[in-house]
Chains A and B, each alone.
Chain A
Amino acid sequence: MGSDHDKVETMRLPWLRPVEPLAPPMHEELIRLVALGDEAAFAELYDAVAPRVFGLVHRVVRDPAQSQEVTQEIFLDIWTQAARFDADRGKAMAWILVIAHRRAVDRVRASQASRDRDLRQGIKEYRESYDDVADTVETTMEAQRVNQALETLTGPQQEAIRLAYYGGYTHQEVAQLLNIPVGTAKTRIRDGMIRLRDRLGVA
């Protein structure tokens, strides 16, 4: 023990340096640097969050080429808006994901309007794609937590929320897809989200 003790005392803890990569700057710090025009920080932020952003966008937009375009728009937004992110007020990742979801939904609505989409076809495709997704193994703690929380909702609540968030449908479209009154869709989404919030422990 004595020698170990000395090692630590004389220290400079020899392992401090090599494991430094285990402790990358947090996203919030990167955004602060990005706000100052730091392109290297932006590249690092991109590497850290792009898979999560692209995963979400691809799920909502579906078309790979359009998903890539939208992802570029989102990161350009992050670059442009970085100074307006306030780390004291919240998490960078959530800020980014809110921007990303809004962009993805705007795109899917614009392209759907142009080809006058058939909602029935939409829900069929949507369900098929959901089955694919459900088969893939998601290993992150967040993913498990979110999926477990979703499972605690009623079937109809889950379906309405998934159609709205991952499908990019308005609550009126959700009502049409599920053949329920608009008011029912609205309250079903709200009740489900409240339950989800409580399950996820969101304050």
Chain B
Amino acid sequence: MEQQLHLLTGAYALNAVTDAERTAFERHILSNAQTLEEVRSLSETAALLAYGTPAETPPPEVKANVMAAIRNTRQLPPSAVVRDLSTARTARRGTTARPRLPGVPRRPWMPALAAAAALLIFAGAGVGGWAVGHGSGQQGTEQRLAAEQAQQAAMLAIMGAPDAKIATTKVGAGTLVTIASSGQANQAGILVKDMPAAPAGKAYELWFITAKGAVPAGLMDVSGSAPTVQVLKGPLDGATHIGITVEPAGGSAQPTTTPILLQAI
């Protein structure tokens, strides 16, 4: 039975287990780092599945009820839940004590482990899989693919930095622009989807913006509807915003038009 439990990672991540199985499984994974890691990654994947169903604005009374309810609801203090998993890992190595979920009283709808897993995982969820779909035109030359992969790798490095900030903004009718930046990496990257081509004779130019002004960060490579990934040219150097303007082909030394996007970073 114990050997079978590790096969339950997928079902557990999807909440497709009974309460009894959940309890047994949680006890099992606390003493099994490999299974724990699989659960973490599959739980993150499961959260992304929420995007596979259309968003839907709830009726206004839901918000009214929620806002009224929170006025009478006490908030819980921060707890040690977050540390549970690392503690459990250490305990597994260091002692023979049976690992236990410590801390807050268990709530039937949100066991401590699920809370901890939810807290532990998902750096980059929502944009983590941006590379998917990128290769829809797979006829590209090897050089182009290599260049793209280099950009993707650089973008991943930015997104993976401990202080990475990621923001997605909708521009115009349907263009999605995701900007990732990291002060530590001193770089920023951009992912655009469904960006219309610049008007004839024009180009999209990227800018690092500080209180002192705008510094050119390269022209945007916009090609078709596939998502395009690009690392901005030059260092972040304390920029507070990233901007995109439409400039004459070849670019300008300073912005000459109002930005179509201005993202705080």
User: Least Cβ distance of B76 to chain A in Å?
Assistant: 5
Interface size for A (C-beta < 8 A) is 101
| Interface SS of A by simple majority | helix
Contact B53 A133 (CB under 8 A): yes
A148→B51 contact, CB < 8 A: no
Query: In the complex where A37-B75, A91-B125 touch, is A101 in contact with B8 (Cβ < 8 A)?
Result: no
Name the residue in A99, A164, A169 with the highest tally of chain B Cβ atoms < 10 Å from its Cβ. Answer: A164
Question: 1/0 per residue A160-199: CB within 8 Å of B?
Answer: 0100111011111010000000010111011111101101
Compute how far the CA of A80 lies from the CA of B132 in the bound complex, rounded to whole angstroms: 36
Q: Provide the residues of chain A in CB contact with B79, threshold 8 Å.
A: 83-84
Name the one of A84, A170, A191 contacting B78, with C-beta atoms under 8 angstroms: A84
Q: Which of B15, B44, B51 contacts A142 (CB 8 A)?
A: B51
B141 at the binding interface (Cβ < 8 Å): no
Residue B59 at the chain A interface, CB threshold 8 Å: yes
Q: How many residues of B contact A (CB 8 A)?
A: 100
Set A80, A90, A145: member contacting B123, Cβ < 8 A: A90
Query: A residues 133-150 with Cβ under 8 Å of B?
Result: 133, 136, 138-150
CB of B45 within 8 A of CB of A193, answer yes
**Identity of the chain B residue whose Cβ is nearest the Cβ of A11 in the assembled complex:** B213
Query: Which B residues between 6 and 23 are near A, CB-CB below 8 angstroms?
Result: 7-11, 13-18
A123 interfacial by beta-carbon distance below 8 Å: no
Binary contact track B115-130/A, C-beta < 8 Å → 1, others 0: 1011111111111111
Is B11 within 8 A of A186, CB to CB?
A: yes
CB-nearest residue of chain A to B258: A15
Contact (Cβ within 8 A) B131 A99 = no
Q: Which residues of A contact B10 (CB under 8 A)?
A: 161, 186, 189-194
Nearest chain A CB to B170's CB is how many angstroms away? Answer: 9
Known contacts: A54-B56, A133-B53, A194-B42. The answer to whether A90 contacts B15 by CB under 8 A is no
Known contacts A138-B54, A147-B52: does B115 contact A101 (CB below 8 Å)?
Answer: no
Contact partners of A67 in chain B: CB under 8 A:
58
Interface 0/1 of A24-68, CB less than 8 Å to B: 001000000001010100110011001110111011000000011
Alpha-carbon separation in the docked complex, A124 to B89 (Å): 44
- Report the stretch among B63-71, B143-151, B197-205 that lies at the interface: B63-71
- Which A residues are CB-close (under 8 A) to B167? 23, 26
Chain-A contact segment, one of B94-102, B182-190, B230-238, B247-255:
B247-255
Contact in complex: B254, A1 (CB < 8 Å): yes
Which listed residue (B17, B82, B132) contacts A145, Cβ 8 A?
A: B132
Q: How far is the CB of B54 from chain A (nearest CB, A)?
A: 5
**CB closest residue in chain A, given B240:** A16
Inter-chain contact B46/A146, CB cutoff 8 Å: no
Quick check: is B214 within 8 A (CB to CB) of the other chain? yes
- Beyond A16-B262, A101-B15, whether A141 also contacts B178 by CB under 8 A is yes
Q: Give CA–CA (A169, B18) in the complex, Å.
A: 10
Known A77-B110, A186-B10: A95·B50 in contact at CB below 8 Å: no
Most buried by B among A50, A55, A86, A145: A145
Pick 9 A–B contacts, CB within 8 A, sort by A. A72-B65, A76-B66, A83-B78, A102-B110, A141-B193, A146-B51, A148-B133, A149-B132, A171-B11
